[in-house]
């Protein structure tokens, strides 16, 4: 089972950069996407079901903003859009697909980098999402949460960690929250389980020469319950082509839907 997660920074922009030509070459079973920046009216036939995939989307109310989506080879048994929290669901941040005993979730955490009001919205999200993660951890299903969590967990997960300790995405409170997801709730950072190496990033600022110099952040994750996490066999960050300011995170699991 191959799962890809990628923040597209606009699904139509990614389409213009070759995303839908690349996608069939990956033979993925499930693709989780974030930051669609599209409304339902913008979802063309090519976007709805490329290469025979079943597409599902949870768009933000605001035009050109946020939104998550999924593609799956198998038709899901059940689809859940949103968390049931109006302020969060209006921004299109959560989409869950159930396949048998496995649930795959595309989630897009708020970024707090644009100002104090958005950092407050991020903390609002974290506070309310944690008990929902606990429910998922305790529900008896295997869970894989894919997406842009907008938090670099440890110093190894961003190039310039010293100068970013007071910046959104690497604040002590955010990092502690993510540590609790792993240590208290028992979820597993699947990529780090297999690849402990430094300089493994999934996002690069458009400022300066961040991409060219690999001055990046690892903020895109597949975070899973221990059972399915143990079945992960290979991980990679695809950087040959660029569809976005993020790179796709690809993980293969010894599991069949």
Q: Which residues contact 117 (CB under 8 A, 6 or more apart)?
A: none
Q: Which listed residue (29, 42, 148, 254) is catalytic?
A: 148
pLDDT digits (tens, 9 = 90+) for 84-101: 999 999 999 999 999 999
Q: Which pLDDT band, with edges at 50, 70 and 90, does 45 fall under?
A: confident
Q: Which CATH number do you get for residue 174?
A: 3.60.10.10
Nearest to 244 by CA among 11, 4, 31: 11
Total number of domains in the chain: 1
Question: Cα 22–249–155 angle (5° rounding)?
Answer: 145
> For residue 241, what are the CA distances in angstroms to 3, 27, 140?
18, 17, 38
pLDDT digits (tens, 9 = 90+) for 205-236: 999 999 999 999 999 999 999 999 999 999 99
pTM over 0.85: yes
Element holding 11 (H helix, E strand): helix 11-16
Q: Domain span at residue 51? A: 2-253
- Our answer to whether residue 98 is catalytic in this structure is no
Which is it for the CA torsion 113, 119, 122, 127, positive or negative? positive
- Cβ-contact 14, 4 below 8 angstroms: no
């Amino acid at each position: 089972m191959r799962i890809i997660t990628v923040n597209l920074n606009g699904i139509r922009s990614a389409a213009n950069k070759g995303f839908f030509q690349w996608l069939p070459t990956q033979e993925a079973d499930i693709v989780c996407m974030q930051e669609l920046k599209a409304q339902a009216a913008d979802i063309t036939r090519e976007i709805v079901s490329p290469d025979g995939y079943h597409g599902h989307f949870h768009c933000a109310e605001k035009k050109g903003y946020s939104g998550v989506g999924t593609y799956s080879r198998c038709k899901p048994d059940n689809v859940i859009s949103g968390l049931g929290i109006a302020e969060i669901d209006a921004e299109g941040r959560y989409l869950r697909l159930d396949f048998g005993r496995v649930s795959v979730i595309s989630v897009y955490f708020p970024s707090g980098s644009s100002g104090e009001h958005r950092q407050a919205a991020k903390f609002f999200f974290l506070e309310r999402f944690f008990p929902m993660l606990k429910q998922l951890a305790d529900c008896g299903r295997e869970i894989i949460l894919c997406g842009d969590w907008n938090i670099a967990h440890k110093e190894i997960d961003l190039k310039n960690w010293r100068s970013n300790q007071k910046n959104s995405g690497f604040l002590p409170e955010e990092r502690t929250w993510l540590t609790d997801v792993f240590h208290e709730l028992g979820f597993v950072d699947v990529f780090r389980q297999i690849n402990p190496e430094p300089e493994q990033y999934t996002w690069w600022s458009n400022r300066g020469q961040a991409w060219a110099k690999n001055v990046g952040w690892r903020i895109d994750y597949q975070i899973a319950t221990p059972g399915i996490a143990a079945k992960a066999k290979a991980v990679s960050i695809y950087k040959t082509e660029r569809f976005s300011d993020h790179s796709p995170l690809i993980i293969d699991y010894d599991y069949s839907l």
